[in-house]
Amino acid sequence: MSDPTTTVYLLMTVIYLVIADWKALALLREPSLPLALITAAFFVGGVVYAMASPAGYRLMGAELGQPRIATLFIYVGILLCYADTHILALLWTPARDAPRRIVRRTVAMWTAAYGLAITAMVTEFLHADLDGPADPLLFNTQQADDPHVLVFLSILLVVLTCGTLNTWQRSRRTAGTDPRIRHALRWFGGSMLVTFGYVLCSTPAIFLAAIGHQEFQTLGVIGAYFGILGCLGTCYGMSGAAVTAWLRERRDTVALQPLWKLVVGDFDEELMYSPTSARPHVWGILRIVLTRRIIEILDGIRAVQPWASAEVARAVQDLTDRTLPEEELEAIITAAVLRDAATRYKEAARAARASDQSWVRPPSGAGHTTGALPGTDTAPQDERARLVRVARAMSHPLVLAALERTSTTRNRPSAPREERAGGRK
């Protein structure tokens, strides 16, 4: 069992330390108590899993000259991790209208309780008379006949019971909290119940072993895997919302590329904040990249707007069957108008170069066509979603059909001169 267990525990070590590094970077950008607690919990958890793996357990025992000393560090680390999670739940779920001093007092009381429990555990462990093989998975049952070990383990189980169940109970208070915190709390609650399975499995195995029944050792080992499942749930609770947000940011950054290329890359490179705008990194810190991309696109839309034509908007309206949602129709119209405006600008720019003009003149009557571009009054917090919809509508069949109809109309001899060409400074 040791080899697969070592693999599982070392995999958990990697997961914890990767998340710890990620949270540490976030903490450096935006220092806060919750982020500090989360970072500390993941770092301690990673170290605990490294020590708890059979290979790590034996290595630490050999280095310190005490084969079972890693157990003390492992169980103290476990309590520190769950104390961290518990305190986060207390900070995020105060009772309705509870003054801050009450919240601080509650946190202080639980912190003191965890501190006293850890002190007592250290004292009992150091007074224990340990013998037999050093196996981290079987320590609880092999050493349970020693009174000091029994007290040591009893304190651990009592504190885990109180901490996990109280965290689960507090995690049910999610009304009115931030969506990301609600996400974390829901997973905290579920993972605490799963972790309580460790207590339910270990308690009978330990106390039966204390009276000489070693045949229930496997039950205690099963409890360790409940702890792993609970830790995975906690990992997702503390990082899942952030991972989901990062994936959405990456998806939206990629989705905006065609629109950025239309109104910035192929229109006016001076609108770029830096040369890296053309090839944004989509694996690092994306929020800054995405925000910059949105600003560049909005600047590009304002620059191309003098070439916007109401003809294209009318063509889309004529071609639609009126069953499209309003937001989707607005995105289609915007995409069609922008594609047409960019084409008109390019034609005017080519004409200006052919006649050796140093600047491109906007089309006459441009001010009368600005209303052809919908969405100009969108609230700042809604711009990202709107622009993503526009980017995804760039190749919509209605857009292509409207552009084709508009082009056919303009190429007729009766088409007004100002609708056939334009220019920009």
Burial class (CB in 10 A: 0-12, 13-18, 19+), 392: middle
Pseudo-torsion of CA 49, 51, 54, 57, nearest 10°? -170
Within 10 A of 165 (CB to CB), how many other CB atoms are there? Answer: 15
17/46 Cα distance (integer angstroms): 5
Q: What is the DSSP letter of 362?
A: P
Alpha helices in 65-178 (DSSP H): 69-92, 100-127, 139-142, 147-171
Judge if pTM exceeds 0.75. no
Are 399 and 336 contacting, i.e. CB atoms less than 8 angstroms apart?
A: yes
Residue 388 has a pLDDT of: 93
The candidate with the shortest Cα–Cα distance to 338, out of 383, 291, 302, is: 302
Are 342 and 262 contacting, i.e. CB atoms less than 8 angstroms apart?
A: yes
Q: What is the DSSP letter of 261?
A: I
């059909």: which residue's tokens? 401
250/97 Cα distance (integer angstroms): 38
> Residue type for 241, please?
A
Are 256 and 294 contacting, i.e. CB atoms less than 8 angstroms apart?
A: yes
The candidate with the shortest Cα–Cα distance to 35, out of 46, 19, 14, 54, is: 19
Q: What is the DSSP letter of 93?
A: -
Within 10 A of 23 (CB to CB), how many other CB atoms are there? Answer: 23
Residue 97 has a pLDDT of: 62
Tokens read off for 164: 């996990």
155/176 Cα distance (integer angstroms): 36
Burial class (CB in 10 A: 0-12, 13-18, 19+), 257: middle
Tokens read off for 80: 């520190």
Report residue 190: phi and psi, to 5°: -65, -40
In a structure prediction context, what are the per-residue pLDDT tens digits for the chain, which is 425 residues long? 446 778 888 999 999 999 999 889 888 888 888 889 889 999 999 999 999 888 888 888 888 888 888 899 999 999 999 898 889 888 887 766 667 888 888 899 999 999 999 999 999 999 988 887 777 888 888 888 889 999 999 999 999 999 899 888 888 876 656 677 777 788 888 888 898 999 999 999 999 888 888 777 888 888 888 888 988 888 888 777 777 888 888 898 889 889 988 888 877 767 777 666 666 665 556 777 888 888 888 888 888 888 888 888 888 888 887 778 888 889 999 999 999 888 888 877 777 777 766 666 666 544 345 456 787 778 888 889 999 999 999 999 998 998 888 888 877 765 454 444 444 43
Q: What is the DSSP letter of 143?
A: S
> Residue type for 27, please?
L
72/66 Cα distance (integer angstroms): 11
Name the helix (H) or strand (E) containing 351.
helix 326-354
Tokens read off for 413: 């001899």
Q: What is the DSSP letter of 265?
A: I
What would the DSSP string read from start to end of 17-43?
A: HHHHHHHHHHHHHS--HHHHHHHHHHH
The candidate with the shortest Cα–Cα distance to 85, out of 177, 222, 212, 195, is: 195
Nearest-5° Cα angle at 311, 258 to 297: 25
